[in-house]
């Protein structure tokens, strides 16, 4: 058994493992697992980049802070902030806000619509989008808080 990872980088590695495993097994369930893990890796990476305003030692994150709606709301809000100093980061946040819903839709299909066929091309497209979002998150973290870099694409 593969132990359940605890950070976005490990979830990405697990998703890539499932994607490679599919080449050997041709099992659609493995593709569905890969697609789902790509989504959750990306969601956790984005959630760590766009933390709730009241996230500190006195107010630790709650499970609802990781809900899709809460995370995407924080990304959109950041993308709408004023000022020239963080314009590249805001542009990347807007890219995340456009791509994350596409990845979420694929995750919903993979996890809940078993009549819908998941293809290797769909999973590969999702992987590429996820890796782009992780790169943007890394850039935003470097711009806004260099101490919070967690997700790294090797």
The two three-digit tokens of residue 18, written as one number: 């499932």
- In the prediction, which pLDDT does 145 show? 61
Check residue 83 and give left, alpha or beta (phi > 0: left; psi -120 to 50: alpha).
left
pLDDT classification of 22: cutoffs 50, 70, 90: confident
- Average pLDDT of the chain is 81
What does the DSSP 8-state code read for residue 59? Answer: S
CA 128 to chain centre: 11
Contacts of 134 (CB under 8 A, 6+ apart): 8, 12, 41, 42, 45, 151, 152, 153
pLDDT classification of 4: cutoffs 50, 70, 90: low
42-61: average pLDDT: 75
68-121 confidence digits (pLDDT tens): 888 999 999 888 887 666 788 889 999 999 999 999 999 999 999 999 999 989
């Amino acid at each position: 058994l593969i132990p359940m990872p605890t950070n976005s980088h490990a979830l990405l590695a697990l998703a890539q493992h499932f994607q490679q495993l599919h080449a050997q097994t041709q099992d659609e369930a493995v593709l569905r697992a890969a697609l789902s893990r790509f989504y959750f890796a990306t969601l956790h990476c984005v959630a760590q980049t766009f933390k709730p305003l009241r996230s500190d030692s006195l107010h630790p994150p709650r499970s609802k802070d990781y809900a899709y709606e809460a995370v995407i709301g924080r990304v959109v809000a950041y993308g709408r902030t004023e000022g020239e100093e963080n314009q590249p980061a805001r542009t990347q946040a807007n890219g995340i806000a456009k791509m994350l819903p596409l990845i979420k839709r694929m995750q919903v299909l993979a996890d809940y619509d078993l009549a819908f066929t998941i293809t290797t091309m769909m999973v590969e497209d999702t992987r590429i989008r996820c890796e782009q979002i992780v790169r943007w998150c890394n850039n935003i973290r470097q711009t806004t808080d260099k101490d919070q870099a967690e997700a790294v694409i090797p």
